[in-house]
Structure 1
Amino acid sequence: MQLTWLLLLSFLGFLSLLKHSISLLKWVSDTFVRAPKHLNKYGSWALVTGATDGIGKAFARQLALQGLNLILVSRNSNKLKVVLNEIRAELPHIKIKDVAHDFSSDVTAGVKLIEEAIKEVEVGVLINNVGITYPGAMFFDEVDEQVWMEIVRVNLEATTWVTRAVLPGMLNRKRGAIVNIGSGASIVVPSHPLYTIYAATKAYVDQLSRSLYVEYKLCGIDVQCQVPLYVATNLASKVALIEKSSWLVPTPNDYAEAGIRHIGYEPRCTPYWSHAIQWCFARLLPDALLDAWRLSVGIRRRRDLVA
């Protein structure tokens, strides 16, 4: 009888080890071996929101290197011209349109400008990158109504409406790729205290992406939520006081290179290799421990802001 139980436990242990080994091999393959898709198959144009800084700017350049023409969307018209000229100087054959609009003030007007810009062009790839957060770590009751309403308007409403604007063209052509940039603040860790509204809007982005993936996969449209952890951007500097990149915190260009390789595959991914490792270790820890750690980090950043 004891031998039977030992054999059973050994078999279950083997199955568990086999499962984790297969998962590890798949991650290595997906991250380092799997060939990226040819994005031109989706269409000749790509639309990128939040395109003048950080991840959005880096994605715009990577898409241009793939041979895609660009529609760049940002609230700052001067920065748009700078980015546009930089890409044209490096890749003069790429056609570029720019749309200057601040979604925090009026989403409807911005969507109308985008609808006008995409007329008579094949937008095959959409990168929904635009996003904002608090000016610093705050408890929920301390956040000014205008601040959290702007976060909802930009992160949630703008992402939804821009997706809705490009979707009909993709459906007519029966092909397209939609990439929504989420956040580890809403997926990797169970909570993100002192940035509650930001994390909640990014959780919405994740659920929106997953549901759209299921709805439109059979229509030839690949929808994906990419979940980065910290990237060395202005947003990370504001939220996490990160001033420079490291092996844990990639540059926007390094992240975008990894992100491009994952477009068109799984509905949710963490493209950068060290982010995926951090996520793996975070899942091994109890939620209560992660909650306590996140709260202590948030309070410390709040004190730094006040000081």
Structure 2
Amino acid sequence: MELCFMDHIKSQPLWFLLLMGLGSLSVLKCSLVVLMWVYVNFLRPPKNLKKYGSWALVTGATDGIGKSFAFQLARKGLNLVIVGRNPDKLKEVSESIRGKYGQTQIKTVVVDFSGDLSEGVERIREAIDGVEVGVLVNNVGVSYPYARFFHEVDEKLLSDLIKINVEGTTKVTQAVLPGMIKRKKGAIANIGSGAAIVIPSDPLYAVYAASKAYVDQFSRCLYVEYKKSGIDVQCQVPLYVATKMASIRRSSFFVPSTDGYARAAMRWIGYEPRCTPHWPHSLLWGLAHLLPESVVDAWRLRFCLAIRKKGQLKDSRKKE
């Protein structure tokens, strides 16, 4: 039987054998991709972040993803430098963390990233002087209040988007990086957005998406520059998370809570230069890449136009 099968194969034309070979390679490649996806999402152990250093610095730590990151890092035994613009909220978060993880040392730094950034970053430098910051989470960011065309973006919003998302991430990294270089170890996680990477375009959020594309490329370049220095840099690319910034109150399978996202994100720090920690998001990413860009663009435009209409209606009610 086996000889008959081999004879049958040998009798086939060369083009048929080549197609069979290519088909087998494609199946093997797809199988390896699926196995790797399962491993990194469910089986790969997280890194021991304390090996990078005993302290972690988190920006935008008084709300949303940043606050959840702060709790998760404290849970892992790291001391914290938390950065935010509201001193009362910083105090509240600090007390909550200490109440749950009593051994955690916490430093707070008040920085309004839309204000005098140079002065704020100098305060961060002073706070981390002599402190072994091993993990940096650049989480601070701002988006549109709701979708709008580029010509409808006012000067204040335009300035905040660039200053907070681009300049803030850049300058905080510049302040923390020298200590990591000196110790030859460190991990940086910059929070990007699927708006810049996963979907081909994000109409009516143009400046936000572009600012997050900067974060992605900035992270990738630093990953290459400092990998041999013992510093792991990555851009985390979530899709929707239930936050005030996203105007989503309830979590779901595809929209994690901030705590759910932070728990997943902790498992990825120190690995790939770009990652999507919440695994259902990676399913949506795969689907987006299967569809033609024109189809995704058209769907996204309709979706964002609906958000714009709701936002305008809400604004008009406030004026009445």
TM-score, normalised on structure 1? 0.97
Displacement of 1:145: 1.1
Other-structure match for 2:249: 243
Other-structure match for 1:167: 177
Mapped partners of 1:99, 1:285: distance in 2: 45
1:22 aligns with 2:32: yes
Displacement of 1:107: 1.3
Structure 2 SS opposite 1:271: coil
Tell which structure's C-alpha radius of gyration is larger.
2
Other-structure match for 1:204: 214
Contact 2:190–2:219 (8 Å) recurs in 1 = yes
Structure 1 SS opposite 2:13: helix
**Any residues of structure 2 matched to 1:272-291 within 5 Å, and which?**
272-291=278-297
Other-structure match for 1:257: 263
Other-structure match for 1:4: 14
Other-structure match for 1:232: 242
Mapped partners of 2:65, 2:37: distance in 1: 23
Other-structure match for 1:78: 88
Mapped partners of 2:98, 2:279: distance in 1: 30
Mapped partners of 1:112, 1:293: distance in 2: 44
List runs of 5+ in structure 2 lacking aligned partners.
1-10, 314-320
Contact 2:54–2:78 (8 Å) recurs in 1 = yes
Of residues 66, 81, 92 in structure 1, which corresponds to 2:102? 92
Deviation per residue, 1:124-178 (Å, 9 max, x gap)? 0000000001121110001101111111000000000000000100000000000
1:143 aligns with 2:153: yes
Other-structure match for 1:103: 113
Aligned-pair identity in percent equals: 60
Of residues 213, 224, 247 in structure 2, which corresponds to 1:214? 224
Mapped partners of 1:136, 1:277: distance in 2: 26
Displacement of 1:76: 1.3
Structure 2 SS opposite 1:236: coil
Amino acid at match of 2:196: S
Mapped partners of 1:160, 1:11: distance in 2: 48
Other-structure match for 2:45: 35
Of residues 297, 304, 307 in structure 1, which corresponds to 2:303? 297
Structure 1 SS opposite 2:190: strand
List runs of 5+ in structure 1 lacking aligned partners.
none
Structure 1 SS opposite 2:232: strand
Mapped partners of 2:108, 2:29: distance in 1: 47
Provide the alpha-carbon RMSD of the alignment: 1.0
Mapped partners of 2:306, 2:148: distance in 1: 11
Mapped partners of 1:297, 1:208: distance in 2: 29
Mapped partners of 1:101, 1:45: distance in 2: 19
Amino acid at match of 1:286: P
Mapped partners of 1:232, 1:43: distance in 2: 30
Structure 2 SS opposite 1:225: strand
Deviation per residue, 1:65-116 (Å, 9 max, x gap)? 1110000001111111111110000011100000111111121111001001
Amino acid at match of 1:140: F
Mapped partners of 2:67, 2:21: distance in 1: 50
Displacement of 1:2: 6.3
Contact 2:111–2:121 (8 Å) recurs in 1 = no
